[in-house]
């Protein structure tokens, strides 16, 4: 289904419903700085062409996207992949109360999204050097969040960073806020792509949770607060609008 190929949806009516839901979120969380801007940008995903391209990238066979398929050994040569695989849990089933909030799937989700966004802008098969660049962007995202595209020096995440990620917890209000925005974004994806959007949405959810957790570690806390949810969304939405092919890292 293309951007203009909606089926059984009144788009104007859906936009109105989404706007009302966004307004309700604002009423429920009136003191969260930056929330209105984030919600406006989430609502704009309904008409976003790059969002369409990133979704389409996620549906492709990796062989269509890259001229070089990274093996497990290739990936483990990348600093953050190695650390994540050594420290983060990899359970067969994710249950936050048992596994912890952050597992390796969250890390993988963000890395995968960077690759999808890269391909969406490039619109051509990517090479081995592309994976290296995506890893460099991943490090900047983890350390700098929404300042990832700025010429700022930073310390790449180390083993201690990942150990702290393993101990991250949710603040109840922040989890509630995250869930409400997630449902709003999920409804937009459902209207655009139907039931096939569920896997894409889960990957987004994990990537956003990982970004929020990274901000927590950078702020020397162990609990995801409302402000971390805002930073995570701000970072993700900015990444969507960043032409990775032109990003100098």
Identify the pLDDT of residue 6.
45
Cβ contacts of 100 within 8 Å, gap of 6 or more:
89, 166, 167, 168
- The model's pTM is 0.94
For residue 131 the two structure tokens come to 């994976």
How high is the pLDDT of residue 67? 65
Give me 157's structure tokens: 């995440």
**Using one digit for the tens of pLDDT, what is the confidence trace for 182-210?**
999 999 999 999 877 889 999 999 999 99
The mean pLDDT value for 211-226 works out to 98
Q: What separation in angstroms does the CA of 171 have from each of 148, 164, 216?
A: 25, 16, 11
Task: Please give the residue that has the higher pLDDT: either 234 or 3.
Answer: 234
Q: Is 241 a residue whose pLDDT tops 50?
A: yes
Mean pLDDT value of segment 21-27: 98
Average pLDDT for residues 53-69, to the nearest whole number? Answer: 81
Q: What is the pLDDT of residue 5?
A: 47
How do residues 96-108 score in pLDDT, each as one tens digit? Answer: 999 999 999 999 9
Delimit the domains of the chain by residue range.
11-246
Q: What's the mean pLDDT when you consider all of the chain?
A: 93
Which stretch of 1-5, 115-119, 124-128 has the lowest confidence by average pLDDT?
1-5
More confident residue, 180 or 198: 180
> Taking 90 as the threshold, does the pLDDT of residue 226 lie above it?
yes
């Amino acid at each position: 289904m293309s951007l203009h190929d909606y089926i059984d949806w009144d788009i104007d009516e859906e936009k109105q419903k989404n706007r009302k839901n966004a307004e309700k979120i604002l009423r429920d969380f009136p003191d969260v700085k930056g929330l209105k801007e984030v919600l406006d940008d989430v609502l704009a995903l309904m008409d976003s062409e790059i969002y369409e391209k990133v979704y389409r990238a996620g549906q492709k066979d990796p062989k269509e996207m890259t001229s070089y398929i990274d093996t497990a050994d290739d990936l483990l040569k990348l600093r953050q992949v190695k650390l994540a695989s050594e420290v983060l849990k990899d359970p067969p089933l994710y249950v936050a109360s048992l596994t912890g909030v952050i597992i390796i799937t969250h890390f993988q989700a963000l890395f995968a999204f960077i690759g999808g966004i890269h391909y969406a802008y490039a619109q051509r098969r990517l090479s081995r050097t592309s994976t290296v660049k995506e890893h460099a962007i991943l490090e900047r995202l983890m350390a700098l969040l929404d300042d990832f595209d700025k010429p700022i020096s930073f310390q790449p995440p180390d083993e201690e960073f990942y150990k702290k990620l393993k101990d991250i917890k949710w603040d109840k209000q922040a989890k509630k806020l995250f869930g409400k925005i997630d449902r709003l974004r999920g409804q937009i994806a459902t209207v655009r792509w139907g039931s096939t959007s569920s896997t894409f949405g889960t990957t987004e959810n994990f990537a956003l949770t990982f970004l929020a957790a990274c901000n927590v570690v950078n702020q020397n806390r162990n609990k995801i607060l409302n402000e971390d949810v805002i930073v995570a969304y701000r970072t993700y939405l900015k990444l969507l609008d960043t032409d990775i092919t032109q990003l100098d890292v």
